[in-house]
Copies of this chain bind each other. A is one copy, B any other.
Amino acid sequence: MKAPERIGQVLAHFTVTAPERATGEIAALLGIANSSAHELLNGLAQTGLLQKQAPGRFRLGPMIAALAQVLANTDGLVEAARPIVARAVADHGETVHVVKLAGRQLATLSAQSGNRPVGVGRNVISSETPLWAVGAGKLLLAYLPTAELLRILETLELTAFTDATMTARSRLRDQLTDIRQDGFAEAVAEWHPDLATCAAPVRSHAGVCVAAFSLAVPLSRYALQPRAYRAIAVQSADRISARLGWQDAGKPTGQLPGSNKKPSGRGQ
């Protein structure tokens, strides 16, 4: 296996639920020898990508934070998303994420918890989140190039988490097609029974989907007005897209007088 891929695998195993890992643990997770893991981890600790807490115990290191600062200051998407995310949380109080796809995992670019007493934690959407069980995951899959989508779809083990979880590969494919046409995805109680998530595509200046704007809402509130949350997601995503230089071909934001075209012009 190639070095960058191996290192990516190692880093990906440091998560919110398991922020500290031991040498043997990583060795077992990657299926390599203890001694190999030892060399890898200590090497990464020396560069600062990890830091050694104690002999054999590692956490993500300071270089991650430093690189993230660079990314936040230079990535147009992160920069464009920040104020829109803040505004959405302020206006509606629900938990908001802007996520991309990194390989076959979700990667959070920006996240903010809602301010309601009962709300969704910021960590529901993370690299451990199953793609097929949340709106953002399905949306990002839907906008993938077909060849890549098929490759990923084949390798996903469609585990069920609730009764509503999508486990049939063919049905999921059909749903992804719809999602791409609608420019909107939702997952109601497909991961956790009391959680609803929905997402809309963020588009670059060239019109390709580069990220998803995601809303995570307790089912009790989502069920009351699903259309409203849909509107919020689509509108916020569009606002970020606009900041990236995207010009909607169909209908910019509000209802254009005289334009009675259906909003189908959203697809790429």
Contact = CB atoms under 8 A, between A and B. Distances in A.
A8 B47 contact: yes
A231 interface: no
Interface in A1-20: 2-9, 11-12, 14-16, 19-20
B60 A4 contact: no
A61 interface: yes
Interface stretch (A102-110, A169-177, A184-192, A256-264): A102-110
19 contacts: A3-B6, A4-B43, A4-B46, A8-B47, A8-B63, A11-B67, A16-B70, A16-B74, A20-B74, A47-B102, A48-B105, A48-B107, A60-B70, A62-B101, A63-B107, A64-B67, A65-B78, A68-B68, A69-B126
A4 B65 contact: no
Contacts of A122: 73
A54 to B, nearest CB: 11
Interface residues of A, number: 55
A91 to B, nearest CB: 22
A142 interface: no
B8 A109 contact: no
Given A3-B7, A73-B122, A46 B103 contact: yes
Given A7-B4, A40-B4, A43-B4, A65 B68 contact: yes
A7 B4 CA distance: 8
A126 B68 CA distance: 12
Nearest to A73: B16
Given A3-B43, A7-B7, 14 more contacts: A4-B40, A4-B44, A5-B46, A5-B47, A7-B47, A11-B67, A16-B69, A48-B105, A62-B101, A62-B107, A64-B64, A64-B71, A69-B108, A70-B127
A75 interface: yes
Nearest to A78: B65
A62 B2 contact: no
Contacts of A5: 43, 46-47
A120 to B, nearest CB: 15
A100 interface: yes
Interface string A67-85: 1111111110010000000
